[in-house]
Amino acid sequence: MEARYQTAPRPADRLGIVPRFGCRDVSWGLDIIGCGHLLPALTREDFGMLVMWLATPHVSRWWTEPASLLDVEERYGPSVDGSDPTRIYMVVCGAAPIGMIQSYWIDDYPHHAETMQLPGSVGIDFFIGDSGFIGRGIGPQMLIMFLDTIIPPHTQGRTAFASDPSVHNAVSIRALEKAGFGRGRVVQEETGLEQIMVRVL
């Protein structure tokens, strides 16, 4: 996944969903695997967990970005503060944080928008950080919950959801397909070939 640091000058809170998910006692979606999902907004208290996850082989293979605490602060701190338009959420299963999902308007990142060629779309990135929860169907479930329950009231005027995993990341591609995404173009990014996945709104 390409890091996207330079943003166009747009309001940072347009998705309008950060304040509501700032606590860890609100559950969303169907508990179809006996887990009980929460999707609280990322805070700095979560940065240590991100450092650990980003250093694990099954995450670092696809999220090619530095993983020190300083790096995480530089990369994710602006989103926590609201000065970057990307909105980031922890995926909590029961009482355990197990992964992360983020959303952003692709048009806010000009280089990425040029590559994706999907004007008006909402970008989605995600991973399961805790390897003990891989292969349990959580990826598709959290995507469906996020896209169908949480974000729709804040996507007026948007055309589609889009994600761009590596062409070799079969697990993410399969999870996106189970969440209603179809395969689009294959594009060349700095980190390699990426498969554009699209779910039309």
Question: Whose CA is closest to 6, among 82, 104, 109, 107?
Answer: 109
Indicate whether 57 pLDDT > 70: yes
- Residue whose tokens read 């890091």: 3
Which of the residue ranges 10-24, 105-119, 150-164 has the most confident prediction, judged by mean pLDDT? 105-119
In whole angstroms, what is the distance from residue 138 CA to residue 113 CA? 28
Mean of pLDDT values over 82-89? 92
Instruction: Tell me the percentage of the chain whose pLDDT exceeds 70.
Output: 79
Indicate whether 17 pLDDT > 60: no
User: Which run of H or E residues covers position 58?
Assistant: helix 57-60
- Residue whose tokens read 């070939």: 193
Cβ–Cβ < 8 Å for 39, 150: yes
Name the pairing type of β-strands 192-200 and 160-163: antiparallel
Mean pLDDT of the chain: 82
Q: Domain-by-domain residue ranges, the chain? A: 19-200
pTM above 0.85, yes or no: no
Mean of pLDDT values over 15-38? 40
Pairwise pLDDT comparison (89 vs 6), residue with the higher score: 89
Highest CATH level, class, for 19-200: alpha beta
pLDDT tens string 172-194: 999 999 999 999 999 998 889 99
What are the counts of helices (DSSP H) followed by strands (DSSP E) for the chain?
6, 7
pLDDT-based confidence at 86, cuts 50/70/90?
A: very high
Pairwise pLDDT comparison (35 vs 131), residue with the higher score: 131
Indicate whether 23 pLDDT > 70: no
